Amino acid sequence: MTRIGMLSAAHLHSGAYGPALNELPNVEFVGLYDNDPERGKERAEAWKTRYFADREALLNEGLDGVVITSENIRHKENCLAAAAHRVNVLCEKPIATTAADAEEMIKACRDAGVILMTAFPCRFSPATVRLKEAVDSGSLGKILAIKGTNRGRNPGGWFNDLSLSGGGAVIDHTVHVADLMRWITGAEPKTVFAEIDNSFHHTDFDDTGTMFIRFDNGMFATIDCSWSRPTRYPTWGDVTMEVIGEKGSMYVDLFAQHFRVYSDATGGGVYAPWGDDIDLEMVRAFVNAIETGAPAPITGEDGLAAVKVAFAAYESAKTKAATAC
């Protein structure tokens, strides 16, 4: 059995990764550390695992890997602690709130000889897999442009506290789509021009952002990465990509396999998936890399490259000029 722990349940995505760990027959979900005892105990009970009030105590349980789903600002400290114990890491996106922190995490894991995998579950969507196959086959011809969206409602809580999140919608939503663009095309983002605002909540965090990205192969792309949906809107969904090539184009909706349920019982819209579980497949890939010694399918370097697009967008919005990634 592969022994996996979780460091914090602060992030919403922990609600998918915890059950995924329990679903894999070759995984023992050893325990959950959380600096919020109430949250930690509640989630540990729901996931039928042990709650640890002390991070070191969990890391001393002979773990093979950890899933980090803490507040963004705490990714580095949790990653470095795991690397010090030679424990493999699956880290929630964005990998870090500064490039320097991400580079330190990458180096620590490399020096310890452990995996650092960035949590980009959208790579495991059947829609994006088919899109990549089409691009790789050449059936679309040379890729000229991509239009991407990642729009949703404001998640609230610590996501709106810049001291914990490191940014608002732009850092939260850009990275998924930027990573897909890199992965699907093999091109690297070079410059970003962005407009960022707080049009809906009128406070200090950004909730709207649109950016224009130029890639090293001449391709250009746009991303709408906003918390622009109303509070009754389903939590997940609205991640799309339209790829334009010389020979054809393809449009994908990553979350098309779902029902949208609106009822008085739920108090609003509910996203109810019926298709493939991309979170489960991502966690499975992490466990497989641990067990086989194969490289992680998504690296810390991938996480850094994606979040650099968000950092460049913030700088561009300040300077009103294109900014290098």
Q: What is the dihedral of CA 168, 201, 198, 169, to 10 degrees?
A: 20
Segments of the chain assigned to CATH 3.40.50.720: 2-114
> What pTM did the predictor assign?
0.93
Pairing of strands 220-224, 143-150: parallel
pLDDT digits (tens, 9 = 90+) for 80-137: 999 999 999 999 999 999 999 999 999 999 999 999 999 999 999 999 999 999 999 9
CATH code of domain 2-114: 3.40.50.720
CA angle 138, 140, 141 (to 5 degrees): 65
Token pair belonging to 318: 């300040």
Q: Which CATH architecture has domain 123-276+307-324?
A: 2-Layer Sandwich (3.30)
Residues of the chain with CATH 3.30.360.10: 123-276+307-324
What 3-state class would DSSP assign to 26?
coil
Given a cut of 80, whether residue 318 has pLDDT beyond it is yes
Residue 169 is predicted with a pLDDT of 96
E-state strands within 120-218? 143-150, 189-197, 208-215
How far apart CA 142 and CA 288 sit, in angstroms, is 34
Neighbour count for residue 187 (Cβ, 10 Å): 19
